[in-house]
Structure 1
């Protein structure tokens, strides 16, 4: 009986306050200021143009939540906070809040949560609506945090020296751009909505690969991709679809490949119990609220979908420390 507590329930009900605290700290660049040292509430208040009382209460809250450490009147970053929320860190990912906590996302989940549960998915197309403006926010917010993973994947795929690469639902474009940087003569074609591709084009320009970067606007399902590709990228896209949609897209990818070419997906994979790994299990709920039919799938389910699309083999490789995995769809 001593272990019975309402703490988990109260944490869930008040989770929006932790979201607010993180947003405030990031917008004030508080974590970066703490990383510079001399991090008392008074010093931080001067650096951020804030009230000392406000900064003190915010930092104490973040300490209680495990994002900071406090020694006397000095605040310090934890190792994880230093790695991901200090703007000077190469693995900084603070920009993701601009997408994950966007008003459109918050409204989808909090306006009427029982509705999408009863419906078995979002009411209407939600984020899957054509040209939804949330995807421009996604491209701008998520791009910087995807660079390390994109470069890691590109280094593995570069071994086969793909010369003609298709990046489907390219978004920020970082996965295709990383391959263009790793393979000096690779030509990249990026497919997405026109407004989203403007962000990908800017990123390609900044990366110095715009001469080998082509954009193709339109629906991934309806647009003619062309053919003769050595590699088709499906990064963080299949989870937005049901199994039939995944098979349709994988079949289209296979038909766009040269003999021996591969399709590659980046996904959150579930174990057969569907409640582990933890992040993948929770991500399925994000798909429930923000898409009509999206889900998280197991390796077995991806193998079945790959075979239904005509691929001979599907292999998965985890990508620690991220919760994602690389899926390779190979022809006979």
Structure 2
């Protein structure tokens, strides 16, 4: 069994890995979409700017959030999007100190061109999706080789974070954990080791569950885990689980599907049950403001990465809070923090 008592924080390394995606947004926003030119004359409403950019809402939100995190854009007190003083100097074609040409050199790269295409099409790269819908096209998760590699890659990150999750969550009063799209199962396994009275059900596709079974055997907790091959969108809870874990799963889906997933599992909770969301949260926005967060910068970069490979993005804290409250749950005001910008948000049933 792995010794998890002295894990070094992986946050900086993951931030450095994802930073390239923010650079891609900067180049795309300076060249193909040219927000510096569009906003030189003055601020625009989000909808007007989005129309001029020719982007769907998800693409516009990811792009503008990235540029706000880089401090070249901001939303002013009138809820209009404008260049910051820094952005005016470095991105406006009228500024003698603009860096448009230098930044534009990045557009020669294939990665930037691919990001531009994804923004224009509002879709991830490739012809297959890394999320599963029963009524949609093929999923990469149904290819055993791809699924195995992806599951083990996600497990590597989870091993760095799961011990902190187990320290933050008090599940001493819970009896059964439902791990939605739990794949490798690392978070469940760590919680089972922490809470000996807890049992778990991991729901996922067949290939990821093979990896979870392997890891559960290594952790010595196989007798307390049920591995359930099912569709998370339609799964019906037979175990009366009193805690549902959604760990880094909602960001894979569009906001519409993410909200449906939360409602689906909230409706099956027993009294005093709970849903726990583990994810990297973007900062909240004021009520009535356009859907553009200011960061944090590393999470904006992560959002751009997710945008590139799935149908979702990183969601803001207020978006996750509304997902839980709209599902009829009472949202805990306390947000737990774990490495890699992970946040833990809990909603309780009445």
Per the shorter chain, which TM-score range? Answer: 0.5 to 0.7
Residue 330 of structure 2 corresponds to residue 312 of structure 1: yes
Structure 1 residue 15, shift from structure 2 partner: 9.2
TM-score (normalised: structure 1):
0.63
1:27-66, Cα deviation, whole Å (9 max, x unpaired): xxxxxxxxxxxxxxxxxxxxxxxxxxxxxxxxxxxxxxxx
Q: What runs of 5+ residues in structure 2 fail to find an aligned partner?
A: 1-94, 133-141, 286-292
Structure 1 residue 322, shift from structure 2 partner: 2.3
Tell me, in whole angstroms, the C-alpha distance in 2 between the residues paired with 1:11 and 1:218.
Answer: 47
Q: Which residue of 2 aligns with 1:101?
A: none
Which of the numbers 148, 154, 169 marks the counterpart of 2:166? 154
**Secondary structure class of the residue paired with 1:128:** coil
Q: Which residue of 1 aligns with 2:310?
A: 291
Tell me, in whole angstroms, the C-alpha distance in 1 between the residues paired with 2:234 and 2:245.
Answer: 17
TM-score (normalised: structure 2):
0.60
Tell me, in whole angstroms, the C-alpha distance in 1 between the residues paired with 2:199 and 2:108.
Answer: 48
**Residues 283, 296 of structure 2: 8 Å contact kept:** yes
**Residues 161, 339 of structure 2: 8 Å contact kept:** no
Report which stretch shifted further, 172-181 or 128-137: 128-137
Q: Which residue of 2 aligns with 1:280?
A: 299
Q: Which residue of 2 aligns with 1:167?
A: 179
**Residues 165, 338 of structure 2: 8 Å contact kept:** no
Report which stretch shifted further, 197-206 or 225-234: 225-234
Residue 344 of structure 2 corresponds to residue 326 of structure 1: yes
Q: Which residue of 1 aligns with 2:116?
A: 114
Residue 231 of structure 2 corresponds to residue 219 of structure 1: yes
Structure with more contact order per residue of length (Cα contacts < 8 Å, sep ≥ 6): 2
**Secondary structure class of the residue paired with 2:162:** helix
Tell me, in whole angstroms, the C-alpha distance in 1 between the residues paired with 2:219 and 2:333.
Answer: 30
Tell me, in whole angstroms, the C-alpha distance in 1 between the residues paired with 2:187 and 2:153.
Answer: 15
Decide whether aligned partners of structure 1 residues 119 and 149 sit closer, same or farther in structure 2, where only a CA change above 3 A counts.
Answer: same
Q: Which residue of 2 aligns with 1:248?
A: 260
Q: Which residue of 2 aligns with 1:300?
A: 318
Tell me, in whole angstroms, the C-alpha distance in 1 between the residues paired with 2:219 and 2:144.
Answer: 26
Report which stretch shifted further, 304-313 or 162-171: 304-313
Structure 1 residue 159, shift from structure 2 partner: 4.6
Residue 244 of structure 2 corresponds to residue 232 of structure 1: yes
Structure 1 residue 221, shift from structure 2 partner: 0.8
Number of aligned residue pairs: 239
Q: Which residue of 2 aligns with 1:128?
A: 131
The two structures, once aligned, show a CA RMSD in angstroms of 3.0
- What are the within-5 Å matches in structure 2 for residues 4-83 of structure 1? 9=103
Decide whether aligned partners of structure 1 residues 289 and 186 sit closer, same or farther in structure 2, where only a CA change above 3 A counts.
Answer: same
Decide whether aligned partners of structure 1 residues 192 and 287 sit closer, same or farther in structure 2, where only a CA change above 3 A counts.
Answer: same
Q: Which residue of 2 aligns with 1:140?
A: 152
Q: Which residue of 2 aligns with 1:21?
A: none
**Secondary structure class of the residue paired with 2:190:** helix
Relative to its length, the structure with more helix (as a share) is: 1
Decide whether aligned partners of structure 1 residues 242 and 178 sit closer, same or farther in structure 2, where only a CA change above 3 A counts.
Answer: same
**Residues 281, 343 of structure 2: 8 Å contact kept:** yes
